[in-house]
Amino acid sequence: MSELRFDGQVVVVTGAGGGLGKAYALFFGSRGASVVVNDLGGSFKGEGNSTKAADVVVDEIKAAGGKAVANYDSVTNGDKIIQTAIDNYGRIDILLNNAGILRDISFKNMKDQDWDLIIDVHVKGSYKCARAAWPYFRKQKFGRVINTASAAGLFGSFGQCNYSAAKLAMVGFTETLAKEGAKYNIHANVIAPIAASRMTQTIMPPDVLENLKPDWVVPLVAVLTHKDCTETGSIYEVGGGHIAKLRWERSSGLLLKADDTYTPGAILKKWDKVSDYSDPEHPTGVADFMGLLEKSMKMGPNDK
C-alpha cells in the first residue's frame, strides 16, 4: 500500500512544541505538507511563554527537508495562528486543535482562575482556531479538523472538573462542526488520546509510558485528515496502538403518555425500563429524540 501523502496541503498544529503536537507536526512535515508549528511555550499549567518549543520543531522539520513555520501565539488568539498559515503558504487545509494545559485540583478547592484558564485554552482556543479557518475551508470546499478530547471528559476524572468539562465540550463542538461542514467537504472528528508526554509523565510508571509513545496516536490522525477519508463527527479513543470508536447508547427507555398520569410514581413503577439496555438505540441527532416525543404524543394511556 502506498503511504498517505499531504503534498501541497497546509496543516496547522496547535501546541506543536512537544508531546502529541510535535509528533503530528513532524509527521505531516515528512509527508509533503507545509506545517504551522504553533506553541506558546509555557508550562503544562499554562504559565510563562517561550519561542523555543516551536522553533526546535520547525528546525527539525526543515532539517529533514520539510516545510514549516513557527507561530508563538496562544490559541486564544487563533486568528493570528491561521493568519500565519495564510501569510506564509496562502491556504489552510487541516487544523489540529491540540494545545492544552492542566490545572488539576479537587472541586472543593477549585478557584475561578483554574476553571477559566482551562476553559479558555481548550474550548475558546479550539473555537478561535476553527472559526478563523472556517471561511477558507468553506471557500475551497475542503477542510479537516481534529479536536482533542480526553477520557477525563468522557468519563470524569478526580481532580479534573475543569479539564473534564472542557474536554467533553470538544465532543459537542466537533459534532456540530461535522454537521455544519458536511455540505462543504469539511470533516471534523474528535480524539481522546493517551500518550506519554509531560502531562502524563508524573501519573504513569515509566514502563507503561514506554508503550504510549505520541507516535502511536499519529497514524489515526493522518487517516482522518486525509483528503480521501469520509469519516466525520466521530469520537475515537487512541493510544498505545489501540484505536476504538465511541458512540452514544440510549436505553430502550420508558415511554409514558405525557398527561396527568405522568407522575413520579408512574416512573418509579417502571424504573427498570429507564436503564434497560437490552435493546439499545444509538442516536446521532436531536431528530431521534423528537421522533420519540411524537410517538409519546400519539400514545393512548396504556400503550406501554
| Chain residues that interact with ligand NAD, rule: CB under 6 A | 14-15, 17-21, 38-42, 44, 46, 53, 74-76, 98-101, 121, 125, 148, 150, 193-195, 197-200
Residue 145 beta carbon to ligand NAD: minimum distance, rounded to whole angstroms: 14
Q: Is 167 a catalytic residue?
A: yes
Match 512537544 to its residue by C-alpha cell: 18
- Choice between 164 and 232, CB closer to ligand NAD: 164
The CB-of-95 to ligand NAD minimum distance in angstroms stands at: 13
> Which listed residue (24, 124, 167, 236) is catalytic?
167
Task: Identify any residues that bridge with 188 across adjacent strands, giving them in sequence order.
Answer: 145
Q: Residue 223 is placed in which grid cell?
A: 487517516
- Helix ranges, the chain (H): 19-30, 52-63, 78-89, 112-118, 125-140, 151-155, 161-181, 206-210, 218-225, 264-269, 271-274, 286-298
Cα pseudo-dihedral 168, 169, 171, 175, rounded to 10: 160
CA atoms within 13 A on the CB side of 18: 17
Q: What one-character DSSP code corresponds to residue 123? A: I
Closest CB to ligand NAD among 44 and 142?
44
What CA–CA distance (Å, rounded) separates 114 from 190? Answer: 24
Q: Which residue is closest to ligand NAD by CB?
A: 19
Least distance in angstroms from the C-beta of 228 to ligand NAD:
25
Q: Which is nearer to ligand NAD, 75 or 171 (CB)?
A: 75
Smallest gap from residue 264 Cβ to ligand NAD (A):
39
CB-nearer residue toward ligand NAD: 200 or 296: 200
Q: Is 163 a catalytic residue?
A: yes
Tell me the C-alpha distance between 102 and 297, whole Å.
Answer: 46
Our CB check for ligand NAD shows the closer of 44 and 184 to be 44
Q: What's the CA gap between 194 and 217, in Å, rounded?
A: 8
Listing DSSP states for 173-195 in one string gives: HHHHHHHHHGGGTEEEEEEEE--
215 burial type by CB count under 10 A (0-12 exposed, 13-18 middle, 19+ buried): middle
Q: Which of 139, 163, 277, 298 is catalytic?
A: 163
Least spacing, CB of residue 48 vs ligand NAD, in Å: 9
For residue 43 the three cell numbers come to 508550562
Cβ-based nearer residue to ligand NAD, 151 or 292: 151
In the complex, the smallest distance separating the C-beta of residue 284 from ligand NAD, rounded to whole angstroms, is 24
Query: Catalytic residues, which ones?
Result: 163, 167
